[in-house]
Amino acid sequence: MHPANCLNCGSNLDPGQKFCAVCGQKAATHKLNLHEIGHEALHYFIHADKSILHLIRELALRPGKVAREFIAGRRVKYFKPVNFFLIVAGILVFMTSYFHFANDTALKRFQQVVAGAKDPVQRKRLSGQLERMEKAIHFMEKYSNVVTMLLTPLFAFILWQFYKKAGYSFIEHLVANMYFSSFTMLCYALILVPWQKQLVMNITGWIMLLVFIIFQIVYGPIAYYQFINRRGTVPYLKALGVYSFTILLWAVGSSSLVNWYIKSGFR
């Protein structure tokens, strides 16, 4: 029986009306069952338009166009950036938890240094550094996905500063970076994370890590070059320079912060 009112928002429905004109929900709803849930899940992932798979394909081929069109108002065409960002973050959490790996080579080496220290004052100082190193490693193992997510607004802010003349606001840069960073995070989670246990034992792991770093340095500038939509060699070189500078700034800043904590405990 066709309802007279929308079951979601209560708006009036005309006979034969398939969707509510106010909230967009289907006029006729079915009783929830396994088939209904399965159909919605399948539709969510493989629908030809606005599905995750469609978005991943577009982000692999024309990432800048995806961000540009979404910001310009074509919101229905693409899977929402926040949803995609959170789903990829969940995948990253699962993959890093399942393929748990602790690179304790440096920790063991420092433990030997502490054990070999003969001066009591020096041993106490080194023991404190060893304790802080263990805490830092544990933090990165447990919260690496959170740290990765926090990079997105930082990257967006830096790129916004360099591209203010492009006319995009910080929030629009943030949306673009949520798309771009989610795609690289997804590649990292599905391709590199399963190889983590090989990184200190097998040259293949190091090669894959290097390839992924190169991929980030290549993909990011291409995405921004397409996003800013300015043709020519100079705009691309600017995108390459800005993106490389942002990655370098983060790498140097984060490593310096960790070393400062280990050596002095921020004192």
Residue 88 predicted with pLDDT over 80: yes
Share of the chain above pLDDT 90, in %: 25
Cα(76)–Cα(150) distance, integer angstroms = 27
Average pLDDT taken over every residue of the chain = 81
**Looking at residue 71, what is its pLDDT?**
93
Q: Following DSSP, what letter does each residue of 5-72 receive, concatenated?
A: B-TTT--B--TT--B-TTT--BSS-PPP-HHHHHHHHHHHHH-TTTSHHHHHHHHHH-HHHHHHHHHH
Q: Which residue's structure tokens are 């106010």? A: 22
Q: Which residue's structure tokens are 């190091």? A: 206
pTM of the model: 0.75
Instruction: Name beta bridge partners: 26.
Output: 19
Instruction: Give the residue from 51, 48, 26 showing the smallest Cα distance to 36.
Output: 26
Cα(262)–Cα(139) distance, integer angstroms = 13
Question: pLDDT tens digits, residue range 53-78?
Answer: 889 999 999 999 999 999 998 887 88
